[in-house]
Structure 1
Amino acid sequence: MSPVILTVQKGLSAMRRAGLSLLAHCLVLALAAPSGALAQGGPSLVRTDLVERREVAETVSVFGQVVATRESEVAVRVSGVVTEVRVETGAQVEEGAVLAVLDRELLQLELRSKQAALSEAEAGIEVAQAGLTLAERGFARVEGLRGTNAFSQGQFEDREGALARARGELAQAEARLLNAEAAADRAAYDLERAELRAPFGGTVLEVMVDPGEYVQTGAPVARLLDIHDLEIEANVPAEYVPAMAPGMVIDAALADGQPLQLTVRALLPTEYTATRTRPVRFTADLAALGNRVAVGQSLTLNAPRDVPRTLLLVPKDAVTQARGAWSVFVHEDGKAVPRTIEIGASFGAHFEVLSGLSEGDEVVVRGNERLRPMQDIAPEPVPAREGAAGTPDPNRPDAQADADRTRRAGLSAQ
């Protein structure tokens, strides 16, 4: 600007040139003045949140995996030649669906043979029953002559022996009938089991036979996985297991970040010596995730390190560090009042407050980086809806990592 002024005012006197130069310098200073200085007449707009007490628990990240509660190799119950295989690997089957069929011809012949033997045994019962009836009548006639001259002791003994034999023959016939019934039932059982059916609904992971193969009783035909009954198993450090109990709900996340809530089902009473961990089983609504979940899939869960405690918490956005100390701005009567605080562990989006704040204190969480002590402020509280959604669960996976970062920051500041 000065060269332009000098060019325009080239013919003026030195006094006029000095006066114009002084005016231009004043204008430059006015334009260069900070805009904040012009706005110091009004309070600074900030956003605030409350210091509150909440029940929280320190957590540790533990890896778990999806496991199947029902996975089995479905085996044949009778020997025979495989005539049909009705499923293939990856097929979805319902409970009772036919997986494979064995040759039924020989089994049908065996059933007819056993049914014929059963009919013969039933006829034997009728013959034995008729013989017993005749023996009972003959014995009754001889016994009726007892006390008369016509009574013969020899005839009485013969009739008594004949009655005993008839009763024995009936007992034998009844036993043969029972054996025949059992044999017929077994033959019918074998024929029915010639069709191998799925014991539960699920996915066929592997087919182990082909048509034409002869299989012995107990040979596996297919491996079946129940995808509708999955659980999560995690090996939790033994020192943290006492903080868990059946029914407790904890947070977890799949490898892609999908959040998931798990419920403790059982604390298994075993411990792995090498890792000093104990297996814990969890249930979850895995079916809702569809094909995103597979047996063996890993996930990260937040195991509580101790029983939940009620702590005083301050939002992390309110806390700043300077000269080796942590501080916040507290809203008091329209002023930003600085407060030195002492913080503890990290819980999600909050720090534990050890000293310097009280429950209900209103702290600045937005705009605090530009505030000066005792500056006038116009606070806008965090909306209740946003506060609920924007306040992560203290037991989220990164809680421990946040705590470690906090401790490292504190050490570096010292």
Structure 2
Amino acid sequence: MRHETRPSLRRAAVVVMLFAALALVASPSARAQQGDGSPATPVGVAEVGERETSQTVPVVGRLVARRAGVVAAKGTGAVEQMAVDVGDVVEAGDLLARLDTESVSLEVDLAAAEVEQREAALEEARSRLALARQELERLSDLRRSAAFSQARYDDKSEEATGLGHAVSVAQATLTIARARLSLAEVALRDAEIRAPYPGVVTERHTEVGAFVTKGAPVVALLNNRDLEVEADVPFDLVDGLTAGDSVDVVLDDDTRSVAVLRALVPAEDARTRTRPARLTLPDAAAAGHDLAAGQSVTLFLPEGPAETVVVVPKDAVISNPSGATVFVVTNGVAQPRPVTLGNAVGDAFTVEGGLRPGDVVVTRGNERLRPGQPVRATVPPSARGGDAGPQG
């Protein structure tokens, strides 16, 4: 009996080893962990990185026109024509209104005739002076001759001097006449009231037939092509701003853009403890948008100095009742790890605990992973923890 038991034990041991080998071969996870080249789950991965960021505070501002106001009359007279109405779009130099030009046109004609008269008088005075100087030179040549008369020479010299003064007076009179002509021409030109800059007519202050004086309002004009952001900045945020800083802004249609701080006016409102700031919008922000003066804009102003934080892509985070978890890949194997998250920073979360820069996390396919599952990074990463992005 003893001799029959030993072969049976040996056969049983062989059977057990065979089943164990078959189980090992049948397990893909075991084969992958043993590095025999078995397939692993394809996933997208990203590296936990660092990002310079700062907390921001939303401040509501508004769009304002850099050039807007009343266009006034430069002359005096009755309104002969109103060339625009409220809502009309005009270019710089377009006609807005015209005053009666009948009397001003006559003044131009009168001044032009006076200029011609003064030019003729000047020409005559110059001719008489030239003749006197010519005669004086002839008499001077006779000094050594018996025909020379000192008295006649002195008379002609005095006459030439007087004619020289007459030329000077005629020249001055012509200058005055030309100035009067220029003033009349300016008055005629000012009878046409033109747009000083492009924009939209927002109000008409006068009508045809009304009499306006110099400086009276004619129309109100707003340049809606040159808008900027105006905001009242709380005093405790002023120290974090410098002219030239870039500030994230959101229009009321949720369009996001970046404005540049043009000026921070050093005039604080004692009641609200705020200071006015002006920011310039890029041309691309206005493209395709019907922007208007007074439109609301939300600015995200830095609450303090920028700091470097550890960030993990949002796609890597799995939320569950017990907290946030990410799958960290080490040596081709994904293991879940609980993490403590902070604020959102663009396409990532700040990390307060559980991860370090350089850790590789799964960003795609992490919903179907199991602890200890082999993975391979074949899907392009959805984000990089260290990439720059919108800051919040």
TM-score (norm 1): 0.73
Paired letter, 1:121:
R
Tell me which residue corresponds to 1:221. 218
- State whether residues 99 and 197 of structure 1, in contact with CA within 8 Å, keep that contact through their aligned partners in structure 2: yes
For residues 236-247 of structure 1, the aligned pairs below 5 Å read 236-241=233-238, 243-245=240-242, 247=244
Alignment deviations for residues 104-128 of structure 1 (CA, whole Å, 9 cap, x no partner): 1111111111111011101111221
Rounded Cα–Cα distance in structure 2 between residues aligned with 1:308 and 1:146: 98
- State whether residues 65 and 295 of structure 1, in contact with CA within 8 Å, keep that contact through their aligned partners in structure 2: yes
Change (3 A) 1:155 1:46: closer
Corresponding residue to 1:298 among 296, 301, 304: 296
- Percent same amino acid among aligned pairs? 35
Tell me which residue corresponds to 1:356. 354
- State whether residues 46 and 377 of structure 1, in contact with CA within 8 Å, keep that contact through their aligned partners in structure 2: no
RMSD: 3.4
- Pairwise CA distance, 1:140: 2.2
Change (3 A) 1:392 1:91: farther
Alignment deviations for residues 325-378 of structure 1 (CA, whole Å, 9 cap, x no partner): 876442335655354545454423433224431223233567878988x45365
Are positions 1:166 and 2:166 aligned together? no
Which range is displaced more, 84-93 or 271-280? Answer: 271-280
Rounded Cα–Cα distance in structure 2 between residues aligned with 1:367 and 1:383: 12
Rounded Cα–Cα distance in structure 2 between residues aligned with 1:367 and 1:142: 118
Rounded Cα–Cα distance in structure 1 between residues aligned with 2:92 and 2:80: 21
- Pairwise CA distance, 1:322: 7.4
Paired letter, 2:310:
L
Tell me which residue corresponds to 2:208. 211
Tell me which residue corresponds to 2:281. 283
Tell me which residue corresponds to 1:156. 153
Are positions 1:193 and 2:184 aligned together? no
Tell me which residue corresponds to 1:89. 86
Kindly tell me the number of residue pairs found equivalent between the two proteins: 350
Corresponding residue to 1:99 among 96, 100, 103: 96
Listed as ranges, the gaps of 5+ residues in structure 1 are: 1-39, 400-414
Change (3 A) 1:381 1:239: farther
- State whether residues 350 and 394 of structure 1, in contact with CA within 8 Å, keep that contact through their aligned partners in structure 2: no
Are positions 1:263 and 2:262 aligned together? no
Paired letter, 2:259:
T
Alignment deviations for residues 239-283 of structure 1 (CA, whole Å, 9 cap, x no partner): 544544555443221123222x13315233424143243513222
Rounded Cα–Cα distance in structure 1 between residues aligned with 2:161 and 2:276: 70
- State whether residues 115 and 184 of structure 1, in contact with CA within 8 Å, keep that contact through their aligned partners in structure 2: yes
Rounded Cα–Cα distance in structure 2 between residues aligned with 1:186 and 1:76: 16
- State whether residues 83 and 102 of structure 1, in contact with CA within 8 Å, keep that contact through their aligned partners in structure 2: yes
For residues 10-409 of structure 1, the aligned pairs below 5 Å read 49-241=46-238, 243-245=240-242, 247-259=244-256, 261-274=257-270, 275-285=273-283, 286-291=285-290, 293-316=291-314, 318=317, 328-333=326-331, 337-339=335-337, 341-363=339-361, 374-376=371-373, 383-384=380-381, 386-387=382-383, 393-395=389-391, 399=392
Paired letter, 1:79:
T
Paired letter, 1:234:
A
Alignment deviations for residues 42-63 of structure 1 (CA, whole Å, 9 cap, x no partner): 8999876542223333222122
Change (3 A) 1:321 1:239: farther
Alignment deviations for residues 63-119 of structure 1 (CA, whole Å, 9 cap, x no partner): 221111111311222111111101100001122211111111111111111111011
Rounded Cα–Cα distance in structure 1 between residues aligned with 2:203 and 2:143: 81
- Pairwise CA distance, 1:172: 0.6
Rounded Cα–Cα distance in structure 1 between residues aligned with 2:69 and 2:320: 59
